[in-house]
Structure 1
Amino acid sequence: MSGLVRSASLTNYVEVARSFDVDHLQQLRLAGLHPRCLLEPDLKIPTDAVAQLLESSAREAGVDDFGLRMAQTRKLSNLGPLALLWRDEPTIRSALHAFRDFLYLHNQGLVMNIEESGGVVVLRMEQVTLGNVSVRQTTELSIAVTHRLLKTLLGNHWHPSMVCFRHAAPLDDSRHRRVFATSVQFNSLMDGIVCRSTDFDTALPSADPDMARYVHQYLDSIREESRTALLEQVRQMIWMLLPTGRCSVEQVAANLGFDRRTLHRKLALEGETFSTLLDQVRAELAMRHLAHSNHPLGEIAGVLGFSELSAFSRWFSRHFDCSPSNWRARQASCKPGSRPRQGPPGFP
């Protein structure tokens, strides 16, 4: 099942579509979205449908940076209740951690991981999808919006150390260099923003501890009312932890407030196992890397948690009935507009 995102995620979509003479109503129909989602920002719409809409619109417009263009005039208010987090927290760091924890309320298909070490902070973003769904436009939109929010708080003089994308470079990356004003790395092993730790020590002048507590209580009440089923929570946690090399059933259980035995029991009641969910996420990440990047197979194996390329190749062949290199070659040979194979037997 696809996660849901507030329709505010489509802010500026119509303006960008019209600038390229793209029929936005037709594109909405193709993606299975109702036009009212352009008028009511708090509607919940499928994240995969948004990804399909932006990819299709980008192809129709003939540009690689459709999502990036949508992000350029975003405001804090587009985040709805989450905008409150950026006002009352004591520092940028605490605001980011709160934003990560409550991001689910805005977008169930987007997970942020904050990794800090040696004076460097990495904000890694994961677009959680089902099957072989291209997320180039939604990824660039999410990262550019996060970058824009940080600049709103830190000032226009601030720039990150690097911005990374898993997908290949566009034919023209001038807009990326202009928007981010820093090194932009394509064909990276992650999607995210690399910053200096000292940037996040900055105090927020509007900080109000009492109001911050109230906001957290309010958002907690909303989160509990709208929390997804356990299976989706486990899937999201695997998406976040797998590329870090720390994805184990013990770690996932601890992050969800359980012990290993309790998590196994709860999953069994749903007719699932941790190993099955891990394989599903690995399959989706493998398809994304193989279809939309040029990473060597050894690097992809490492990101998926395999210590050896041979182990990854055996696992992939067992689930996809072919080798990773053959699967990648078939994807590359697909003509524009054709529908590539979505996944192995038993997967979405």
Structure 2
Amino acid sequence: MPYYARIGSLTGYPELVERLGGDPWDLLSQVCILPRQFTDPDLMIPYKQIAELLEMTATQLQLPYFGAQLGQEQGLATLGLIGAYIVQKPTLLQALECGAKYAQRHAQGVNLTLGAPSADQCELAVNLQINHHQQYTQICLLTLSLILSVLKDMLGAHWQPHHIGFKQHLPLAAKLALEQLLGCPVQGSCRKDSIVFNADILSQPPLQQANLLAEIVESQFQGFQLQQHVDYVVLTRHAINMLLPTGDCSKESIAKSLDLHPKKLERLLSEQHTSYRDLLEQVRKDVAQQVLTSQRPNLTNLALNLGYSEFSAFSRSFKSWFGMSPTHYLQTINNSKK
């Protein structure tokens, strides 16, 4: 099946390639990624395009660990508003659990599993469906490097894991090069691609970054300035869209991701003649229509991803939006294409 990923996965790519002496826009054009697509970090593009771009870039620049270098340019802000949301969790464990739930929103076919290889250690394992045959080395390097950057954002720049493990065999020279680049021990020929760290950090609260939200807004919404006239309707719609599949899309969670008190969020929305509840319904309606028009989804899964606890509640909302059930809506679309 085809997988899609946010183009935000390539945050920092043009700047890094230019610093390394390459032409990023020529490389991007070779895999049919357009410059204007970078204006919307949440745009979903074929994951294969990103994987092939990274492999081609590594070859052209003669940098076998380019993916790991790109991951070191990224961090919590790369995840968009979900990054601002997970860092608000009381403990690192809860932040990682939320991040694992969100992973599919950043890149489809990415599964994160938190396990315990020993009594005092934890292992955050990464399984990339797109790399099932181990054909995309760079996407694996990027993913593990990004996760390392996110962990350092939440634990401090001087923190390092016990080691990072790669499934692939790493000759000594490769192992040393990656250790220098990532700043921590590296092991090859492991059972999983993973990051192993001391379990005691799971109870620590994530560090709060003063400028995180400003950085996210600047990259996600070009032209917005936190100190000036921010369109909180746009920001709130975006936050709802990002948090719906996590199952935690309450007004309180949305406000927290925007670094606002819930009452202040409602006041700001009221000044623009809307409310959290109105925007939640609008986003649900728009997403439902988009998904049903372009895909053939499992309706129960769609309902859950839209934040409904059961299909019947979704069906009632859908009828109020479109005057028919989602099942009837799908049949109408199918009949129109015959």
* Correspondence 1:1-348 to 2 at 5 A: 1-116=1-116, 118-129=119-130, 132=133, 134-169=135-170, 171-204=173-206, 211-212=252-253, 225=287
Q: Give the superposition deviation at 1:205.
A: 6.3
Question: Deviation digits for residues 277-315 of structure 1, max 9, x if unmatched?
Answer: xxxxxxxxxxxxxxxxxxxxxxxxxxxxxxxxxxxxxxx
Quick one: structure 1 residues 90 and 146, their matched pair in 2 at CA, closer, same or farther if it must change by over 3 Å? same
8 A contact 1:105–1:223 mirrored in 2: no
Q: Distance in 2 between matches of 1:42 and 1:198?
A: 34
Q: Distance in 1 between matches of 2:296 and 2:187?
A: 36
Quick one: structure 1 residues 8 and 160, their matched pair in 2 at CA, closer, same or farther if it must change by over 3 Å? same
Quick one: structure 1 residues 123 and 152, their matched pair in 2 at CA, closer, same or farther if it must change by over 3 Å? same
Q: Distance in 2 between matches of 1:22 and 1:185?
A: 30
Q: Distance in 1 between matches of 2:207 and 2:130?
A: 38
Q: Give the superposition deviation at 1:130.
A: 7.4
Q: Give the superposition deviation at 1:24.
A: 2.2
- Report the RMSD for the aligned CA atoms in angstroms: 3.5
Which residue in 1 is equivalent to 2:238? none
Question: Deviation digits for residues 228-262 of structure 1, max 9, x if unmatched?
Answer: 8669xx9xxxxxxxxxxxxxxxxxxxxxx9xxxxx
8 A contact 2:175–2:187 mirrored in 1: no
The gaps in structure 2 that reach 5 residues or longer are: 209-249, 258-275, 302-309, 311-338
Quick one: structure 1 residues 140 and 36, their matched pair in 2 at CA, closer, same or farther if it must change by over 3 Å? same
TM-score by length of 2: 0.59
Q: Give the superposition deviation at 1:213.
A: 7.8
- Residue type at the aligned position of 1:202: Q
Q: Give the superposition deviation at 1:163.
A: 0.3
Q: Distance in 2 between matches of 1:82 and 1:187?
A: 33
Quick one: structure 1 residues 17 and 91, their matched pair in 2 at CA, closer, same or farther if it must change by over 3 Å? same
Q: Give the superposition deviation at 1:148.
A: 1.1
Percent same amino acid at aligned positions? 23
Quick one: structure 1 residues 176 and 205, their matched pair in 2 at CA, closer, same or farther if it must change by over 3 Å? closer
Q: Give the superposition deviation at 1:112.
A: 0.8
Q: Distance in 2 between matches of 1:223 and 1:62?
A: 46
Q: Distance in 2 between matches of 1:166 and 1:30?
A: 29
The gaps in structure 1 that reach 5 residues or longer are: 235-256, 258-348
8 A contact 1:165–1:190 mirrored in 2: yes
Quick one: structure 1 residues 20 and 161, their matched pair in 2 at CA, closer, same or farther if it must change by over 3 Å? same
Q: Distance in 2 between matches of 1:196 and 1:52?
A: 34
Question: Deviation digits for residues 40-87 of structure 1, max 9, x if unmatched?
Answer: 322111111100000011011111111111122223221112112333
Larger CA deviation: 127-136 vs 20-29: 127-136
Q: Give the superposition deviation at 1:131.
A: 7.3
Quick one: structure 1 residues 22 and 181, their matched pair in 2 at CA, closer, same or farther if it must change by over 3 Å? closer
Q: Distance in 1 between matches of 2:150 and 2:256?
A: 19
Q: Distance in 2 between matches of 1:213 and 1:15?
A: 31
- Residue type at the aligned position of 1:48: K
8 A contact 2:4–2:46 mirrored in 1: yes
8 A contact 2:87–2:154 mirrored in 1: no
Which residue in 1 is equivalent to 2:218? none
Question: Deviation digits for residues 164-218 of structure 1, max 9, x if unmatched?
Answer: 1122326544442134333201222211101111011102466xx9844866999
Work out the number of aligned pairs and report it: 232
Moved over 3 A (4+): 130-133, 170-175, 209-218, 220-231
8 A contact 1:82–1:103 mirrored in 2: no
3-state SS, counterpart of residue 178 of structure 1 = helix
Quick one: structure 1 residues 80 and 110, their matched pair in 2 at CA, closer, same or farther if it must change by over 3 Å? same
8 A contact 1:85–1:99 mirrored in 2: no
Q: Distance in 1 between matches of 2:30 and 2:134?
A: 15
Q: Give the superposition deviation at 1:92.
A: 0.4
- Residue type at the aligned position of 2:98: A
Q: Distance in 2 between matches of 1:27 and 1:34?
A: 10
Q: Distance in 2 between matches of 1:23 and 1:223?
A: 40
8 A contact 2:67–2:139 mirrored in 1: yes
